[in-house]
Amino acid sequence: MESGIAQGTSQRIIMHLDMDSFYASVEMQERPELRGKPVVNGADPNQGKGRGVVATCSYEARGFGIRSAMPISQAFVLCPHAVFLSPDFPRYLKASADIMAILKAHGFPLQQVSIDEAFLDVSRLGTFPAATDLAVRIKETILAHLGLTCSVGLAPTKVVAKIASDVHKPDGLTVVEPENLFSFLAPMPVRKIPGIGKKAEADLFEMDIRTIRDLAAFDIQVLIARFGRSAIALQDLAGGIDKNEVKERDGVKSVSREMTFTDDTGDEYLIAATIDALAEEVCRNLSDESLHYRTITVKVRYQGFVTMTKARTLPHYTGDSETVRTCAHALLRDIFDGRKIRLLGIRLSSFDTCDARQMTLGV
């Protein structure tokens, strides 16, 4: 499926768009008195004793060192006079839907990857200047209709477009034409490559690999010996090679994992351990997509095939195995009646899964 590619050329032009401090910006748009202030969106700080984390914060709050996923108590210490707001998801979902509708209206293949970001394959436009014009128009339309800014990256690959959208936040537009691809990537820290987390970064540092240039030039055999075959894909990314296409997903918005016991069981210890393992499994590899999931469903099939499910919708999106585990245990407690169990399952889904195609990772 290469519908986005301009005829007669294999040059791809991928756009990645990511809203700036999304939840906080929606709040600031609706409450102009908040503009210019440090705004923190997340759990209640409760005068510094609050539990939970920061969902996001305005760029003013970032100036105090506050970041997404930081404990809210720490955010309170860094900036006690910030405006602390609890998330209002229906509003953010509405804004997200409006933004995606603006993007879709241009008729290019679109892949929404989280509540506030999407890829568009605009190769059909043929040139980077034409794609840049479109990016400017899209930014203007979103600002005019929603009063929100976003940052856009244009590049020949998805990974580079995503890295590019992040370099001039907020309100950025960064274009990486093919001839600049490597000079753009080379000086960046390896951590910029999706898939390189803290652990891999530390391992690479030990080998004296710090920049993407270092990774691209490193002996692949040594990398494979250390990281396995996945080193090949990593080194490709470092060299700007990434064949991933923009995938239109028609509403795959749930992910599940199930396990059937070899022998039906009533052993509470085994049942609890299985829930732990399922929570871990279902969250594995979710990365950005976790921002689609808010509803956790536990499924229990008893001996004799009677199946029960119970769901809970959280006030926030999650892909965090600890959150899923805790919630799944609570749901199981509600439906477990002591009968022997044949199968257990956990499903994560979004608010609008009624028409969702399910994606089961395995049995």
- List the one residue from 27, 60, 116, 289 that touches Mg ion (CB under 5 A): 116
Look at residue 212 and give the partner it binds from Mg ion, ligand DCP, none, a contact being a CB closer than 5 to 8 Å depending on partner kind: none
Residue 324 near ligand DCP by CB under 6 A: no
Structure tokens at 9: 């050329």
| For ligand DCP, the closer CB: 20 or 242 | 20
For residues 339 and 240, is the Cβ–Cβ distance under 8 A?
A: no
Q: Whose CA is closest to 276, among 315, 340, 325, 324? A: 325
Residue 148 near Mg ion by CB under 5 A: no
| For ligand DCP, the closer CB: 74 or 303 | 74
What is the side-by-side strand order in the sheet with 295-302?
307-313, 295-302, 341-349, 254-265, 358-360
Structure tokens at 320: 């965090």
Neighbouring residues of 244: CB distance < 8 A, sequence distance ≥ 6: 157, 158, 159
What is the side-by-side strand order in the sheet with 117-121?
110-114, 117-121, 14-19, 150-155, 173-175
Residue 17 near Mg ion by CB under 5 A: no
Residue 18 near Mg ion by CB under 5 A: yes
Q: Which of residues 116-135 bind ligand DCP (CB under 6 A)?
A: 116-117
Residue 121 near Mg ion by CB under 5 A: no
CA distance 91 to 10: 40
Residue 146 near Mg ion by CB under 5 A: no
- Interface characters, 235-254, with Mg ion (x: CB under 5 A): --------------------
- Interface characters, 149-188, with ligand DCP (x: CB under 6 A): --------------------xx------------------
**Longest CA span, the chain:** 66
**Catalytic residue list contains 140:** no
Residue 55 near ligand DCP by CB under 6 A: yes
Residues forming the site for Mg ion (CB under 5 A): 18-19, 22, 116
